[in-house]
Every structure is written in C-alpha cells, then in structure tokens.
Homo-oligomer: A and B are copies of this chain.
Amino acid sequence: MMKYGIVAFPSKRLQDLANTYRKRYDSHYSKITPHITLKEAFEADENEISNISQSIASIAANHAPLNIHASKISSFFPTTNVIYFKVEPTDQLQKIHQDLQQQLNIGKPKHVFIPHITIAQDLTATEHDDIYGQLRMIGVNEQEVIDRIHLVYQLEDGSWTTYETYRLTGAE
C-alpha cells in the first residue's frame, strides 16, 4: 500500500510567495512545494493505481483550467492551528473536488472542502495567535489560472513525489 493525494500546484510566483512564509512557519515546508489539495491523502495498492490514474485522466478531461483567487490569509483555528491563503471557493473547484471524491470512491473526506494553500502549521497556540495577527494584516491577493493537476505519492520520510500530471482540457 502506498499513500497518494491529488493536488494543484499554483504558478512559481504564487509558490514563491507562499514559501516566504512556509520556510519559517510550516513544519511540512520541505515535504512538498506549495499546493491546493483537491483530494486528501488515500491509501492504494500499486496495482490499483493505473486504474485510479485513468479515472483521474477522464475527470481532468472534463474540467477546464481552474480560476484561482487567493484572496486573504485565514486560519482553521480552533480546529487546527493551520494558517493558509484562502482560495475563493468556486463552483468549478467544488465540482472537480466532488468528481474526484465520488468517481474515485477511495477514502471518505475528513473535512468539508475548503480550498486553501497552507502557509503555517504545527504552531503552538501563542505562535499561532502572534503570526496570524501579523499575516492577516499583510494579506494576499493573487489571481491566476492553473491548467493541470497532479497525482502524488508519499515516501517513508513524508515527502511527496509526482506520479502523473493531468491537463485540464474540458470546457467548464
């Protein structure tokens, strides 16, 4: 069994911006570059993955490139001490998340889908309040189009490698 996930990587510009915070505040900084998780981590057998990959390819062929608006800095506190770039929820993002969730049918979602790019995690309560106070004032306002999604798998050390890339070539 291996652990897989499905993500969208923002442009280099937006990744670089997220990393200016992540390198100081995100315990997972070195494990994966900045991303929007479209399907949470799930377990699959190496033999199953080629079928799963084909299903993702079909879904990607039905979806247009994603319009992304990172509009402000928010926090999941008190659920978790995670600070993130809020990505405006759109019908398009909800729909691709829902298609990946339902059509792959692997692993129940643990949370409601809130599109975001994590910039800080594993902070103490005091660190969280301090850093969140500062970052919320700085804010973020970046719009862009992401034309592909990635299936990634996790190594034993927690880092992620891309298995396959899928271009979003659909109409909506």
Interface residues of A (CB under 8 A from B): 2, 9, 12, 15-16, 19, 23, 29-31, 33, 148, 150, 153, 155-157, 159-165
Contact = CB atoms under 8 A, between A and B. Distances in A.
A56 B29 CA distance: 30
A23 B157 contact: yes
A2 B153 CA distance: 25
A162 B127 CA distance: 32
Contacts of A156: 12, 16, 19
A153 B12 CA distance: 8
Contacts of A16: 155-157
A156 B18 CA distance: 11
